[in-house]
Structure 1
Amino acid sequence: MTRFIFSDLRRLWLGSLVVVLLIAFATALGVAVTLQERALRLGSARAADRFDLVVGAPGSETQLLLSSVFLQPSPLPLMSGDVLGKLASDPRVSWAAPVGFGDSFSGYPIVGTSMALVNNLSAMPEGRVFSKAGEAVIGAAVTLPLGYEVKPTHGLAALGGETHTELAYRITGRMAPTGTSWDRAILVPIQSVWSLHGMGGDGHSAEAEGTAEEPGHDAHAGHAHASVDPDAPIDEHWTVQTPGLPAILVKPKTIADAYKLRQDFRGNGTLAVFPGEVLTNLYGTLGDAKRVLSAVAVGAQILVAAAVLMVTVMHIGQRRRQIGALRALGAPQSAVLVIVWLELFILIALGIILGFAFGYGAAILLSRLFSGESGIALPVGFIRSDLASVAAIALFSAVLALAPALLAYRQSPAAALRA
């Protein structure tokens, strides 16, 4: 029987191949959506897990998270610089690091921060942490050698940003991989960022540091650049004269301290958020998008199942004489039922297997593309609950294959041979 089935499938290889590919592509769509959504959740959660508390100016919590943790360029309002001094001297805080944006180099964001963040974000397998105004540390995914001089460009070079000529940062160290957006960042002393952009002691300037301007906007118009001594030592004793900041990353000493700090710094010109809580709201939006995409995938699978069923029924009708001959030669009804059911089930099973392989490959490709752009590592993989989905699909396929098999089972040998 097995030899007969595979011989029949080889004879009808073109039609069989079309059926397998239809099922494979429909299955791959659903698998890719599920794996990619799960990878995005896990990757973003792991990236945000490195930061316990983010403090910024009142505004959008989501935008504050995306800009300060995921380093997405966007306009952020500035809070008073004395907030940094308060946090740094607070006994409930292990360390507090300022974050300033606005510049880039070769597509990599340049982030102004402090040695505290660099020392606590990742190990330093190559080189050392910056200690002077003209030094920089790069993430693991930045393809620049140690000693390379980085000339910052305001905003994005692709949008016509102006290159700063007052200072070139020399790379002194490379961080170990973190699986976050910071792997693609160039970290520099925030004092140098303030000086380059003319940030005064009152925290104001013609250029709102930490914001992303519209394409074509000259952020430097009417704005005097300050010269920066690249060998000037870094002073990280924050005072009330500290310029305004878009965000501060805070490491509380205990969980209780984290909740107290969030409460204390929500209001009076500041906004404190837990990255995990903000991500939960984002996941709700992702969940809605996933449901829409999953509905599209299910719809495609239903259409493919209906098409496969229709083609199979037509195929059974065209094979009536062959089925009648089998019955006339003494093949029992049960044998005909098994032969037709197995042929269709083998095709559907092959399509499902290929679909899972195609979906996994598509998810891997999309994750690599996303990781290359954002630096966030997206773990793609199957979990135990996926086995239940495979079992459900296999059961549905078995039932689907049974319909044309029953049609062949009920055919009369005499009527089939006269057809």
Structure 2
Amino acid sequence: MNPFPMVLADLRALRWTAPAIVLLVALAIGTGVAIAAQERALRRGSAAAADDFDLIIGAPGSQTQLLMSTVYVQPDALPLVDGRLLNTLFKDERVAQVAPIAFGDVSRGYPIVGTTAAFAGRWDRIKPSEGRLFAAEGEAVLGADVLYRMSDTITPSHGVAGLVAAPGQTDAEEDSHRHEGHGYTVVGRLPRLGSPWDRAILVPIESVWEIHGLGNGHASEETKGDSPFWKQGPAAGSSPAGAEERIGLPFDGKRVPGVPAIVVKPKSVAGAYQLRAQYRQGGTMAFFPAEVLVSLYGALGNIRDILVVASALNTVLILASVLLLLLAVAGLRRRRYAVLRAIGAPRSYVMLVVWLGQVTLMTLGCLLGLGLGALATQAVSGLVAQRTGLLLSPAIGLEELLPALGLALIGSLFALVPAALAYRQQVVAGLRG
């Protein structure tokens, strides 16, 4: 006998009870899926953002703080490392590329980062999507998400510790700390990188130094007087060959201002470890971003484990509730199953009808839970990207499918309990009930 018409009739008769069981199971699955998928997406996104930062050197202090400021553009008050170290690294045979990173100014909530044109183009790996890279003081290159336009003039403001304005918005605190008389002209825009640098404004580090009265690190500054940048910056589209000041490494001035961080691209793995060991002493700190990320991932993993355990306990409670509900539903349908037995249906048929109905509900709950988990992960990833600038690509993988399959298997075993009770039921007792 075909059991499926009877199963469908049972499910239709349950009305609100069947959707409630499906929803309970879906919530149990969706919570676990969202936690696992989001944590994995966050790891991948944060690791991808650090790919361009092989070795970071700074003054002794917190590696985590320096990493967050340098890689994830979360400016903070950091001690400065001697600027002369830039020339030392520039001449080091183990170093392929080196760039300073300086921050502290903002505009409309976007951090202004002083560096070199070579680093802005990530050493010839990135080409501007609009315009060109900066080639003189007073020029700026925008990240993909910065809402300024080409040829706009950007007036910087001194950042205030603890004050974080929403990107693209200005406030009274920022307006009160403007560097009047200074401005950057937008000459280019970078493509989307999927990192917090998409919200940064990149300028020559010489401009950052000069705004704060530190000179520009070049010998020409000692004889030329005030830089033209102090007045209005070069016009957009100006030719690099016409610029009077040279920017970038090496710095040949008598004094090279300090910087919060230095990014080094070593020529080899062996050279990277030698540089890391050398600059972990003598008043400097050096580390690979992966070192700090591993410890952060460890803490993130601990939090995830706690959430997973909580989710597992929640799942157990939901399964227990579902089992009780299934038993109650089977008890309410005793008369129907007794009638089936009375008209000639074998015990095994009744047991199969009960079991298939319950397994169908559990399976639908698991499938719905995977969908809810995927939607929740996408929503949370969007919020994280909005807050941090990280590009997250969450996906449902084997790690999420296995718990769902496991729960479906356990649910099918649980469904044997009411099915066995229906199998053992006496026809007369069922009819009387």
TM-score by length of 1: 0.90
2:112 is matched with which residue: 104, 110, 113? 110
Supply the distance in 2 between the matched residues of 1:355 and 1:233 (Cα, whole angstroms). 62
**Residue by residue, what CA displacement relative to the aligned partner does 1:42-84 show, whole Å, maximum 9, x if unpaired?**
1111111221000111111111111101111222111111111
1:267 alignment partner in structure 2? 281
Pick which of 79-88 and 30-39 moved more: 79-88
**Residue by residue, what CA displacement relative to the aligned partner does 1:1-48 show, whole Å, maximum 9, x if unpaired?**
212211221222211111111111121111000000000111111111
For residue 306 of structure 1, report the CA deviation from its aligned partner. Answer: 0.8
1:314 alignment partner in structure 2? 328
How many aligned positions are there?
Answer: 396
Supply the distance in 1 between the matched residues of 2:118 and 2:415 (Cα, whole angstroms). 63
Amino acid at match of 1:393: L
Coordinate RMSD, CA, aligned? 1.9
1:216 alignment partner in structure 2? none
Residue 289 (structure 1) aligned with residue 308 (structure 2): no
Amino acid at match of 1:189: P
Q: For residues 104-183 of structure 1, what are the structure 2 equivalents within 5 Å?
A: 104-120=106-122, 122-155=126-159, 156=164, 157-158=170-171, 160-161=173-174, 162-183=177-198
Identity of aligned residues (%): 43
Runs of 4+ in 1 over 6 A off after TM superposition: none
Amino acid at match of 1:70: Y
Residue 62 (structure 1) aligned with residue 77 (structure 2): no
For residue 378 of structure 1, report the CA deviation from its aligned partner. Answer: 1.1
Supply the distance in 1 between the matched residues of 2:95 and 2:42 (Cα, whole angstroms). 30
Residue 389 (structure 1) aligned with residue 393 (structure 2): no
**Residue by residue, what CA displacement relative to the aligned partner does 1:314-357 show, whole Å, maximum 9, x if unpaired?**
11122211121111121111111111111111111111111111
Supply the distance in 2 between the matched residues of 1:413 and 1:338 (Cα, whole angstroms). 17
For residue 386 of structure 1, report the CA deviation from its aligned partner. Answer: 4.1
Amino acid at match of 1:108: Y
Structure 1 pair 119–407 and aligned structure 2 pair: CA distance change class (3 A): same
Contact kept? 1:166, 1:196, Cα under 8 Å: no
Contact kept? 1:133, 1:228, Cα under 8 Å: no
For residue 275 of structure 1, report the CA deviation from its aligned partner. Answer: 0.6
Structure 1 unaligned spans of 5+: 203-225
For residue 385 of structure 1, report the CA deviation from its aligned partner. Answer: 4.5
- Matched position secondary structure for 1:160: helix
Residue 375 (structure 1) aligned with residue 378 (structure 2): no
Supply the distance in 1 between the matched residues of 2:401 and 2:25 (Cα, whole angstroms). 19
Residue 194 (structure 1) aligned with residue 209 (structure 2): yes
1:40 alignment partner in structure 2? 42
1:299 is matched with which residue: 306, 313, 318? 313
Supply the distance in 1 between the matched residues of 2:44 and 2:145 (Cα, whole angstroms). 20
Supply the distance in 2 between the matched residues of 1:97 and 1:241 (Cα, whole angstroms). 17
Supply the distance in 1 between the matched residues of 2:216 and 2:138 (Cα, whole angstroms). 21
Amino acid at match of 2:181: E
1:230 alignment partner in structure 2? 233
Q: For residues 329-348 of structure 1, what are the structure 2 equivalents within 5 Å?
A: 329-348=343-362
For residue 389 of structure 1, report the CA deviation from its aligned partner. Answer: 3.2
Supply the distance in 2 between the matched residues of 1:290 and 1:355 (Cα, whole angstroms). 19
2:4 alignment partner in structure 1? 2
Supply the distance in 2 between the matched residues of 1:181 and 1:4 (Cα, whole angstroms). 57
**Residue by residue, what CA displacement relative to the aligned partner does 1:337-381 show, whole Å, maximum 9, x if unpaired?**
111111111111111111111111111111122122322111211
Amino acid at match of 1:57: A
Contact kept? 2:33, 2:400, Cα under 8 Å: no
Supply the distance in 2 between the matched residues of 1:407 and 1:296 (Cα, whole angstroms). 32
Amino acid at match of 2:136: K
Structure 2 unaligned spans of 5+: 165-169, 218-228, 235-243
Supply the distance in 2 between the matched residues of 1:92 and 1:24 (Cα, whole angstroms). 56
Structure 1 pair 125–112 and aligned structure 2 pair: CA distance change class (3 A): same
1:184 alignment partner in structure 2? 199
1:258 alignment partner in structure 2? 272
**Residue by residue, what CA displacement relative to the aligned partner does 1:145-190 show, whole Å, maximum 9, x if unpaired?**
2112222222245581322222121111111222221111110111
1:324 alignment partner in structure 2? 338
Pick which of 79-88 and 150-159 moved more: 150-159
Amino acid at match of 1:366: V
- Matched position secondary structure for 1:373: helix
For residue 391 of structure 1, report the CA deviation from its aligned partner. Answer: 3.0
Supply the distance in 2 between the matched residues of 1:344 and 1:104 (Cα, whole angstroms). 60
Supply the distance in 2 between the matched residues of 1:385 and 1:308 (Cα, whole angstroms). 24
Amino acid at match of 2:368: L
2:89 alignment partner in structure 1? 87
Structure 1 pair 400–106 and aligned structure 2 pair: CA distance change class (3 A): farther
**Residue by residue, what CA displacement relative to the aligned partner does 1:188-241 show, whole Å, maximum 9, x if unpaired?**
111111222233689xxxxxxxxxxxxxxxxxxxxxxx9455136342232462
Amino acid at match of 1:312: L
1:365 is matched with which residue: 367, 373, 379? 379
Supply the distance in 2 between the matched residues of 1:378 and 1:188 (Cα, whole angstroms). 27
